[in-house]
Structure 1
Amino acid sequence: MGKREPVLAVLDNEKIDYAVWDETGRGEFEALVQFPIPPIGVEPVLEKLREAGIRENAYTIVLSPETVVSSRLEALKKRYSGLRISREELIARAEDLAPATSTFCAFLVLSTIIATGGLLLDSAATIIGAMVVAPLMGPAISASVGTVIDERKLTTRGIKLQVGGLLLAILVAAAIGAIVKGTLLLPPGLDIRDIGQIAERTSPNFLSLFLALGSGLAGAISIMRGSGSTLVGVAIAVALVPPAATSGLGFAWGFYDIALTAAVLVLVNLLAINVSALILFWISGFRPAEEKAVGRARAEVISRAAVLAIAIAFLSIILALVTYTSFQAALVEQQVNQELEIMFEEPEYAEAGFILSGIINIDYKPEDILLEMIVDLIPTVPLQKKPVIVNFVVGYQAGEEIPPDIASTAEERLKEVTGKEVEVTVGFAIAQQTSD
């Protein structure tokens, strides 16, 4: 009240067009002022209006008009160039993205149910559809926004919703797995480790970390610029809900290694999404409204980013080992295939009419290589290295003589090529062909 002239003086100095209406309501305010301003100019103009005497409890409504016809607007766009929204708009969007707890839980349970079904059906389309329902973008963004603007309640609520929501997702998936396991809904003797969509979430590598970091940055950018937040929310949910559901299924089937590996992937992705959004909001210039709170917010951002980065670095050791072991397993498989192809092109076998069937099973999993690495680092550990198990089938024409010791010959050659212990099992298939 009583601040009309200073307010209008600020707008005049900024060369902003405005319209003024006398207040005819309850009499708490003297007038209503409406003026157009580019999105990035909202925050600095509001700061100047507060310096002119506008109280914190004054009504401030920020709208997105469809069209503004003003000769001064182009000059304002040049002065306030940029695309990010104001601090007040950021807070409002963060609060809107984190719905009421009951609504959040309902959507999360539904998305987890759909995602769990998609995992068991090995359907990528179903899993992506479930991510449209998942409400995890809001809590991740609100936690970061609350930190940079020193709003403790917003931060705390965002963290609680994220942690509680993902634990709920694991429990829901475990419950669904326990219910459908052994029923007519699934094939008899189903081993979830053989399902492709589940296997993807149990062998995380550095690409998973890049996905989470990119999702967090995309989420922050979409909120700051007000575009594509729904699609970005799907990307964030993809990084969190499917691995959480995979962890729950691991518990339901009693595969605790799957449950633990998927849970580690969830945690890494959660931390990466939060740290990337947090840093981007801060370097974009968002600060608390009060000057005295800026230092406190800066310290909080630095400490939280450091904790998240350290946690990610620690968990990335696991990602590095999985990445390395997956590469080693693929390399061994390639070496085995190439050497067997060379072996069966040699005259001794080619003249006898042997044909490599191409059925080669390399039973050499990343976890086996990881165990081997540990044994190499700690020689006193009383554990035996698992050998590479190679199974292949050779076809030959009926009546032709089979060269002896194929298995032992292949074993020696594969040992030399791979540098690892190898166990070879050879199957023989007799082929007959009708004469013309």
Structure 2
Amino acid sequence: MLHLRLIVPAGLTGAVVEVAERTVGATHLVVLAGAARRPAGDVVMCDVAREAGDELIGALRELGIDRSGSITVENMDLTLSAHADEAERQAPGESADAVLWEELSEVTHEESTFSATYVAFLAVATMLAACGVMLDNAILIVGAMAVGPEFGPLAGISTALVQRAPRLVGRSLWALIGGFLAAMVLTAGFAWLMDGFGLFHADMITADRPNTGFIWHPDWMSFVVALLAGIAGTLSLTSAKSGALIGVAISVTTVPAAANAAVAFSYQDLNQTWGSSAQLLANLGGIVVAGTLTLLVQKGLWALQRRSAPAVKPGPAG
């Protein structure tokens, strides 16, 4: 269930209440007249089944509540109520299949920001992967993959393409490309520093690396794994099962490929640099393609379900 808390101008309260009452899956409707102070207005609260949430939020935005008041949505972990059980039973579809597009757009927008924190996480992850590459240590590689925050911008690109939001596409691309460029430059500097301390040396990058040599040898399996990871990652975001993102993160060779490319470039091993760059692009491209197709399929399937069972009750006759 979702909990909605609305601040509504007094003149629109009746329309908002009508929309909530007509929404199949909405219950626990509460109206507090004049309770809001900034902005001034009435407070309207209700609970709604997740599968009916997107339509209700869309109807509220059509009334302009997001501009004249506010719409706050919270996920509810536990609701003990026969009314809530009945609302979920009546709501069409399954909650696990429902996509809250407003929530998805907000999450990907926040995680697609080119910020100092984002660059720091990506740079640290790439440096950890560089250590794993040079030591041929698979554990360090896995740890670096789990730290990397790059799935946020990738999901942002997929969401923006499906929602036809070019500004979010540009924002996400900038976070992705700018972030990786900054992380790789910093990692190349890190490699030079480690070389100066005698902790890295050229023989380490050219030696046989049975545990990590795959990083700069891209093949079709790399793209297939990226496709599968993109599907799993997108499903985890749309179903609010964020724990699956860790599995996604350690399935694709994005951060390790960037690290290997940066270290190889610092030692002028252009063969590994190009191979690692191709691996990085294959993984990034595969995730974006899979994420976009997954969202399109989810959108289409959900539209079919909505047609067979509308989310709004018919109004009174006459």
Task: Give yes or no for the alignment of 1:254 onto 2:268.
Answer: yes
Contact 2:36-2:43 at 8 Å conserved across structures: no
- CA distance, structure 2, for counterparts of residue 204 and residue 162 of structure 1: 20
Amino acid at match of 1:69: L
Q: CA deviation at 1:275?
A: 1.1
Task: Give yes or no for the alignment of 1:6 onto 2:15.
Answer: yes
Amino acid at match of 2:235: I
Q: CA deviation at 1:21?
A: 1.1
Task: Give yes or no for the alignment of 1:61 onto 2:72.
Answer: yes
Q: Which residue of 2 aligns with 1:106?
A: 120
C-alpha distance 40-118 of structure 1, shift in aligned 2 (>3 A) = same
Secondary structure of the equivalent of 1:35? Answer: strand
Q: Which residue of 1 aligns with 2:305?
A: none
Aligned alpha-carbon RMSD (Å):
2.4
Residue in structure 1 matching 2:133, options 119, 124, 135: 119
Q: Which residue of 1 aligns with 2:180?
A: 166
Residue in structure 1 matching 2:144, options 105, 109, 130: 130
- Give unmatched runs, 5+ long, in structure 2: 1-8, 301-318
- CA distance, structure 1, for counterparts of residue 173 and residue 80 of structure 2: 43
Secondary structure of the equivalent of 2:99? Answer: coil
Amino acid at match of 1:117: C
Q: CA deviation at 1:229?
A: 4.8
Q: CA deviation at 1:218?
A: 1.4
- CA distance, structure 2, for counterparts of residue 128 and residue 161 of structure 1: 23
CA distances 1:207-232 after superposition (whole Å, capped 9, x unpaired): 11111111111111111011125414
Q: Which residue of 2 aligns with 1:282?
A: 296
TM alignment of 1:2-401, pairs within 5 A = 2-14=11-23, 16-17=26-27, 18-26=29-37, 28-50=39-61, 53-57=63-67, 58-78=69-89, 79-82=91-94, 83=96, 84-99=98-113, 101-181=115-195, 184-186=198-200, 189-227=203-241, 228-232=243-247, 234-235=249-250, 238-285=252-299
Amino acid at match of 1:172: L
Q: CA deviation at 1:64?
A: 1.1
Contact 1:36-1:68 at 8 Å conserved across structures: no
CA distances 1:21-75 after superposition (whole Å, capped 9, x unpaired): 1233437443111111122211112233445x34341311110123223333333
CA distances 1:351-389 after superposition (whole Å, capped 9, x unpaired): xxxxxxxxxxxxxxxxxxxxxxxxxxxxxxxxxxxxxxx
Amino acid at match of 1:81: G
Q: CA deviation at 1:250?
A: 1.7
CA distances 1:156-176 after superposition (whole Å, capped 9, x unpaired): 111111112222333233323
- Structure number, greater radius of gyration: 1
Q: CA deviation at 1:185?
A: 1.7
Bigger Cα displacement from structure 2, 21-30 vs 242-251: 21-30
C-alpha distance 87-131 of structure 1, shift in aligned 2 (>3 A) = same
Contact 2:157-2:168 at 8 Å conserved across structures: yes
- CA distance, structure 1, for counterparts of residue 129 and residue 204 of structure 2: 18
CA distances 1:259-290 after superposition (whole Å, capped 9, x unpaired): 1111111111111111111121122118xxxx
Amino acid at match of 1:7: V
Secondary structure of the equivalent of 1:63? Answer: strand
Q: Which residue of 1 aligns with 2:6?
A: none
Amino acid at match of 1:10: V
- CA distance, structure 2, for counterparts of residue 156 and residue 189 of structure 1: 40
